[in-house]
Amino acid sequence: NAGVTQTPKFQVLKTGQSMTLQCAQDMNHNSMYWYRQDPGMGLRLIYYSASEGTTDKGEVPNGYNVSRLNKREFSLRLESAAPSQTSVYFCASRDQGAPYMGEQFFGPGTRLTVL
Amino acid sequence: KNQVEQSPQSLIILEGKNCTLQCNYTVSPFSNLRWYKQDTGRGPVSLTIMTFSENTKSNGRYTATLDADTKQSSLHITASQLSDSASYICVVGTASKLTFGTGTRLQVTL
């Protein structure tokens, strides 16, 4: 039982390049989330998916797109990376129930640098 | 603006000592309060989750308290160990959002 896995662990991009961050969970959870963590700031929600086939914007969605491919996988895409998107990105999941209640399980993070 | 403020920003203690971390919040309407532990280079791991009706919750050597009237919470760590070195994040939830604090960085030394 691996929990929440994320790939890649590290990535360096040049401004304007695109990439997709992958997230998968093996806990049969319904809800999945993408957060970013910046120095001196708390984690901020980018997008979430309450169930397969649905996605909703969080606090900081601009510059990102998401896909809930199936119940297990939730990907985050940067179409045209900008230096302001340099951050650590965390994927999380939780089981049934309201998206902001109950325990969220986090992945190990992807450290992204945009030059 | 809904905020979660944590203090101190950082703390160094000797192994075996106790410590208390503070969290003050203005988030409303309150639904739940969580404490997470985040080791360097890793994702946060949940320690406790408390709802409005709970004023204390323990997880091993970690004890969280909640005073919903004063909008304050604390995390007490008993008999600290080197493995307790990490950032501790307070998170306050409403029905529609989680607001994360910036964390307290704890270092436990010999």
Does the pLDDT of residue B38 top 90, yes or no?
A: yes
Distance (Å, whole) CA A48 – CA A98: 12
- Give CA separation, A82 vs A8, A10, A15, A115, in Å: 18, 16, 5, 8
- Give CA separation, A64 vs A23, A49, A82, B69, in Å: 15, 14, 11, 38
Does the pLDDT of residue B59 top 90, yes or no?
A: yes
Taking only the tens place, the pLDDT of each residue in B60-75 is 999 999 999 999 999 9
Distance (Å, whole) CA B75 – CA B5: 13
Do B89 and A43 count as a contact with CB atoms less than 8 A apart? yes
Distance (Å, whole) CA A90 – CA A38: 11
| Average pLDDT taken over every residue of chain B | 94
Does the pLDDT of residue A101 top 80, yes or no?
A: no
The pLDDT of A60-71, averaged and rounded, is 95
Distance (Å, whole) CA B56 – CA A12: 44
Distance (Å, whole) CA A27 – CA A2: 9
Taking only the tens place, the pLDDT of each residue in B13-31 is 999 999 999 999 998 888 8
How far A44 CA sits from the closest chain B CA (Å)? Answer: 7
SS (HEC) of A33-51: EEEEECCCCCCEEEEEECC
Which DSSP state fits A73?
B
Distance (Å, whole) CA A69 – CA A76: 11
Nearest to A100 among B4, B44, B94 (CB): B94
Distance (Å, whole) CA B87 – CA B107: 9
Which DSSP state fits A26?
S
Taking the Cβ of residue B30 and every Cβ of chain A, the question of whether any pair is shorter than 8 Å is answered with no
Residues of A with CB under 8 A from a CB of B: 4, 40-45, 59, 90, 92, 98, 100-109
Percent of chain A with pLDDT over 70: 97
In a mutational test of the A interface, the residue from B45, B98, B102 whose CB has the highest number of chain A CBs within 10 Å is B98
Tokens read off for B30? 């309150």
